[in-house]
Every structure is written in C-alpha cells, then in structure tokens.
Structure 1
Amino acid sequence: MTNRSDRRLAGVVEQDITMQCIDSLGRGHDLETVFSYQRSDPFAVTITFVTHEGDLPWTFSRDLLARGMTEPTGDGDVHVSPSIDQRGRAVVVVELSSPDGHLVTQAYIKDVRQFISRSFALVPEGEESQHMPIDDMILQLLTA
C-alpha cells in the first residue's frame, strides 16, 4: 500500500499499513489497514481495518502504541509488544480483544515507527493536553 498524503494542515496524519493477521495455526494473512492520528483527539490513534464488509475502526492510546514498539504493554482489550516474525524481521504485535473475539496482528516496526514519528511531528509527546478541545467538550456535555 502507499502512504496517504500527510494532511498536517488539516491536523491529520494517515498511513496505509499492510498488517498480518495471525491465525490459530500461526500463519499470517495480509490485512489492509489505515493508521490515523488527529490533532483534535491528541491522546488516541485509530487503526481502521479495511474489509469487504466495510471499515472497522479500533481506537486506543497513542502512548500504548509508541511504548509497545520497545516493550510489552497494555491492559484490557489492547496489548502491544515488539517481536520478530518468522523471517527474522522486527514487528509490532497488536492484540485486540472484544466480547466478539480475539485478533492478533503484526506490522513491520519500521512502518509503525514512521507513523508514530509523523504523529509526534504534528503533536509532540507531552504536549497533547495543549490540543484538547476543552471548550467544545464542555459545551457537548452541557447540551447533552
């Protein structure tokens, strides 16, 4: 897949990444995804799984993805850890759990590192709270 254009002016970073879905026998199957990050939701990243039935987004902590490239991390429904694939290449394993099932995926660490670097260029690590739309959130809570 090719990278989507970097829309920094719009406050969005997107990157197409082909992940491997690991089945119960340990075999990998290509899975097209779009990793995205938005300045308006500065603590989160979304992996959208592109399927024939439609797109399936999964949103979780940007910090979790970044830390998971160097050490196993995660609680609950998302776990991220560095690993080596069957061919000896560095990968990031992303495990997702829900009441509907469990999915184990992996992506080349170089692709994930490129995405994370681009997201940090948009909103540096530690500066996320400066980009929180607090006034908009308060307005939404008061009008709900």
Structure 2
Amino acid sequence: METVPVTLRYDSRDPFAVRIDFPAPATLENSDITWVFGRELLAAGVSAPTGVGDVRVRPYGYDRTALEFHAPEGVAVVHLRTGELRRFLRRAQGAVPWGREHLYLHLDHGLAELLRDSY
C-alpha cells in the first residue's frame, strides 16, 4: 500500500462539511484534488460502516478508519489512524458544537452573493 500525505480540513464557515486534500502526485489528473463530504458521515464511520454514495467511511482493523472515494475513474481508499481522526473531530466540535451548525451558516451573505448581479 502506498503512503500518501493527505490533509483533512474543517472550516466553521462551512459547518456541515469536512474536506480532504489529495496532492497532485496521488491523483490521476496530476493536480491537487479536494473532496468535500459531511462531518456527520465521517464521525459515524469511525464506529460503523456508513455512506452509500461517492464517499463511504468504515472502521478498518485496529485503530484505522477507511475512507473510500468513488469516482468514474476508480476508487481511492485512504486509511487514517482512528485516534487521530477522533482528535480531529473533537477539534471540529470545539469550533462548531454538534447540533449547532445552523448557527454558523451565513445565509444572508450567501443569498446576497447569489443575487448581487441580478440588479
């Protein structure tokens, strides 16, 4: 199995989502790729298999969590240390507590951006 350094990110401005960045050498397009998926999906997949679409998360052996990314070109599987993933999720919860994500949505700003050229 090849080791690829990926970056998992969370931003409170998009409180329901997490991002994982793949560096160019690890992609078929030879360019940096970012996948965006639900924080809740990631948290649930630490304990039990979850997801039926493009992103699936499941426990894998001792202290590993597998993230599967399904695309027309194929499937990429990333194994993360579950302990590190739990720490990441705790930090994300410290930034935006579970169940409070709606308080961090900036709907007025987003709507204004959508409508700014419609005048």
TM-score over 0.5 for the pair: yes
Tell me the residue number matched to 1:129: 102
User: What are structure 1's unaligned runs of at least 5 residues?
Assistant: 1-27
Partner of 2:63: 90
Q: How far, CA to CA, are the matches of 2:85 and 2:97 in structure 1?
A: 16
Counterpart position of 1:38: 11
Q: How does 1:103-118 map to 2 (within 5 A)?
A: 103-118=76-91
Measured in 1, the distance between the counterparts of 2:71 and 2:115 equals 31
**Structure richer in helix, relative to its length:** 2
2:34 paired residue number? 57
Q: Secondary structure at the match of 2:92?
A: helix
- Give me the TM-score of the superposition, normalised by structure 1: 0.74
1-side partners of 2:73 and 2:31: how far apart? Answer: 17
Q: Secondary structure at the match of 1:38?
A: coil
* Ranges in structure 2 where 5+ consecutive residues have no aligned partner: none
* Equivalent position to 2:58, from 60, 70, 81: 81
Count the aligned residue pairs.
113
Task: Report the alpha carbon displacement of residue 100 of structure 1 after superposing the two structures with TM.
Answer: 1.9
In terms of fraction of residues, the more strand-rich structure is 1
Greater displacement, 119-128 / 96-105: 96-105
4+ aligned runs moved over 4 Å, structure 1: none
What percentage of aligned pairs have identical amino acids? Answer: 34
The whole-number CA distance in structure 2 between the counterparts of 1:99 and 1:133 is 33
